[in-house]
Amino acid sequence: MKVIQVSQHGDIDVLQLVEKNLPTPSPEELVIKIYAAGVNPVDTYIRAGTNNYTTTFPYTPGKDGAGIVEAVGESVSWFKPGDRVFCTQSITGCYADTAVCSQDHVYPLPDNLSFAQGACLGIPYGTAWLALHQRAAAIAGETMLIHGASGGVGLAAIELGNAHGLTVLGTASTELGTQSAYQQGADQMFNHNDQNHWQAIKGYTQNQGIDIILEMLANINLGQDLPLLTKGGRVIIIGSRGEVTINPRDLMARNADIRGLALANASLEERQAMYNNIVELAKDGKINPVVKHAFTLEEAGKAHQQVMTKGAAGNVVLIARPE
């Protein structure tokens, strides 16, 4: 099988395309012919060894993938060869034309989604779902601001927010990202490069403030997010690339909370409950992932550069086989 292999931390040139033998799956595992793999910022942190990420070498990147089941172990009861599926974790890595996965992390891919879209369900939708339903405990009718709505997680959060009956505000830095967010159903967008955007958001809510903020870049925004909150408001930290100063009085005055989130902390039960819910939402047409940039396996390095480039407007994927 063709896989991207990484043998040491480093820049994009450590992403090497190699041929490998398919490992023999154990009884609870499936072999999946991968058509598309999701590319997420965390893949670049693991490759580069930044943000305290470590791994064992050599490895093949990619937790998120979608394709067709090729073979199943004797204890696999939920899937059969030929099924369209997506996976949210892989034993051998999804930057490949074939991957081995435990059946615990494989879900049916609804017919109305392409493989490329299926490869965007794991990290982006899982993170957005946990932020909204678990960490923020969002209630229908609340107002949510997605600070960074144009990327994979942000666009997913718009759809999940709409499905849950929230008013959804968002930010982006480009016209393209803003348009993607409106197409996914954002009620109102702002530009996070404009230093007055917090004021504009406050004005939009007629000084009522925001119930929930999903924050993609806390080191830049958190200090100014807090005065935007209503009483009982919550900021969910999804992304941060450094330190930040806040005024704790902004929290005291509002009985407000700052809550962290790492998708990796979700238990198997939590994951299965949320991805099954995501599958149902997709079947109902409430989820339609935006694939903005598609690269071949050989271009994995370019895909890593793309996912870290400002001006997001959707997800980045690798196409391992034509659909």
183 touches ligand NAP (CB under 6 A)? no
With CB under 6 A as the contact rule, the residue among 177, 209, 233, 289 that binds ligand NAP is: 177
Instruction: DSSP for 162-219, please give it.
Output: HHTT-EEEEEESSHHHHHHHHHHT-SEEEETTSTTHHHHHHHHTTT--EEEEEES-HH
127 touches ligand NAP (CB under 6 A)? yes
Q: Which among 8-16, 85-93, 182-190, 257-265 is the span making contact with ligand NAP, rule CB under 6 A? A: 257-265
Binding mask 129-168 for ligand NAP (x = CB under 6 A): ------------------xxxxxxxx--------------
Residue 240 beta carbon to ligand NAP: minimum distance, rounded to whole angstroms? 7
Residues 35-54 that bind ligand NAP (CB under 6 A): 40-42
- Cβ 118 vs Cβ 86: under 8 Å: yes
102 touches ligand NAP (CB under 6 A)? no
Query: Where does the chain have alpha helices with state H?
Result: 41-48, 115-118, 126-129, 152-163, 175-184, 197-204, 218-225, 248-252, 268-283, 300-307
**Residue placing its CB nearer to ligand NAP in the complex, 29 or 225:** 225
Q: How far apart are CA 16 and CA 121, in angstroms?
A: 25
Residue 316 beta carbon to ligand NAP: minimum distance, rounded to whole angstroms? 7
With CB under 6 A as the contact rule, the residue among 1, 14, 123, 169 that binds ligand NAP is: 123
Instruction: DSSP for 236-259, please give it.
Output: EE---SS-----HHHHHTTT-EEE
3-state secondary structure at position 149: coil
307 touches ligand NAP (CB under 6 A)? yes
User: Which residues of the chain form contacts with ligand NAP (CB under 6 A)?
Assistant: 40-42, 123-124, 127, 147-154, 171-174, 177, 192, 216-217, 220-221, 238-239, 261-263, 307, 310-312
